[in-house]
């Protein structure tokens, strides 16, 4: 039976035929095309090794100001790239946390798994995930301080669902006293380690034994979460606290 097609309003004069490439260049797909181009170039050559003009050209944007129009510049583009992927990472992590909410028998390996598994999903995704992992690893590796929520890499720590805050609160109890918060900030160090290691593996590319890589990484993250503070570290912390008190 022939399919019924809804009538289309007449347009006068008829528009000239447009190619799909032209629609991508000038239509609503321009932001996603620019993000995809940035993923490819940043992951291949590093964040500082690519000009905005190159990204615009890679995205087939005829308008040379398209990137500035949509993102305001490099920082805005990087943040949009991170948000694109962290949205799905956060959903996965929140679902894992929902599943164990209220349990009192959680282990450090459970915590490591909930940090690592949502990122591992990006390692084999076809939405630019491997490129994102490399870019995020580079951004976290160059950070020598706590991250501000408004900077480009901010959504890695402060995702829209607050999943990483929930993760931190849920598993703080399995960590040694004194290892969370200032001045050690071990949770941040663990988060950075996980991202850098997965980003490194994304750069190596296939083939990859995903189950083995994942299990080994979870083992290492769990070890970092639960590593006891040595007597030397405790002594140095006490000296620091005494010095801070004296100085105040």
Report how far residue 6's alpha carbon sits from residue 237's, in angstroms, rounded to the nearest whole number: 74
pLDDT of 19-57, one tens digit each? 333 333 344 589 999 999 999 999 999 999 999 999 999
**Pairwise CA distance, residues 72 & 17, whole Å:** 32
Among left, alpha and beta (phi > 0; psi -120 to 50; other), residue 20 is alpha
For residue 159, give the DSSP letter: -
Query: Which residue ranges make up each domain of the chain?
Result: 21-71, 83-228
* 174 touches 184 (CB < 8 A): no
Predicted confidence at residue 246, as pLDDT, reads: 63
Q: Which pLDDT belongs to residue 22?
A: 39
* pLDDT score of 202: 96
Longest CA pairwise span in the chain (Å): 88
**Is the pTM for the entire model greater than 0.95?**
no
CA distance 187 to 107: 15
237: pLDDT confidence band, cut at 50, 70 and 90?
Answer: very high
Q: Report the chain's mean pLDDT, rounded to a whole number.
A: 87
Which residues contact residue 248 at a Cβ distance below 8 angstroms, ignoring those fewer than 6 apart?
Answer: none
- What pLDDT shows up at residue 28? 53
DSSP 227: P
Whole-number pLDDT of residue 181 = 86
Give percent of the chain above pLDDT 70.
87
* Strands (E) located in the chain: none
Instruction: Give, in words, the CATH class of 21-71.
Output: mainly alpha
Distance from C-alpha of 59 to C-alpha of 33, rounded to nearest angstrom = 5
pLDDT tens, residue by residue, 85-142? 999 999 999 999 999 999 999 999 999 999 999 999 999 999 999 999 999 999 999 8
As a whole number of Å, the end-to-end CA separation of the chain is 86
List Cβ neighbours of 16 (8 Å cut-off, separation of 6 or more).
Answer: none
Cα 6 to Cα 9, 11, 147, 216, distances in angstroms: 10, 15, 53, 57
Cis bond leading into 63, ω under 30°?
Answer: no
In contact, 66 and 58? CB cutoff 8 Å: no
141 in Cβ contact with 188 (< 8 Å): no
């Amino acid at each position: 039976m022939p399919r019924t097609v809804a009538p289309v309003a007449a347009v006068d004069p008829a528009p000239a035929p447009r190619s799909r490439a032209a629609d991508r260049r000038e239509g609503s797909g321009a932001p996603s095309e620019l993000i995809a181009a940035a993923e490819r170039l940043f992951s291949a050559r590093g964040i500082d090794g690519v000009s905005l003009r190159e990204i615009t050209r890679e995205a087939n944007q005829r308008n040379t100001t398209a990137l500035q129009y949509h993102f305001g510049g490099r920082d805005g583009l990087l943040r949009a790239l991170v948000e694109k992927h962290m949205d799905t990472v956060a959903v996965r992590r929140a679902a894992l946390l929902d599943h164990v909410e209220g349990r009192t028998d959680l282990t450090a390996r459970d915590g490591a798994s909930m940090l690592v598994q949502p990122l591992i999903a990006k390692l084999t995704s076809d939405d630019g995930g491997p490129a994102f992992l490399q870019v995020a690893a580079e951004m976290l590796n160059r950070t020598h301080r706590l991250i501000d929520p408004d900077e480009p890499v901010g959504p890695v720590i402060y995702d829209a669902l607050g999943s990483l805050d929930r993760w931190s609160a849920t598993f703080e109890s399995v960590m040694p006293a004194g290892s969370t918060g200032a001045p050690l900030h071990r949770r941040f160090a663990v988060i950075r380690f996980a991202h850098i290691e997965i980003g490194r593996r994304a750069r190596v590319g296939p083939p990859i034994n995903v189950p083995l890589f994942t299990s080994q990484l979870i083992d290492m993250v769990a070890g970092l979460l639960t590593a006891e503070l040595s007597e030397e570290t405790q002594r140095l912390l006490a000296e620091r606290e005494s010095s801070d008190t004296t100085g105040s």
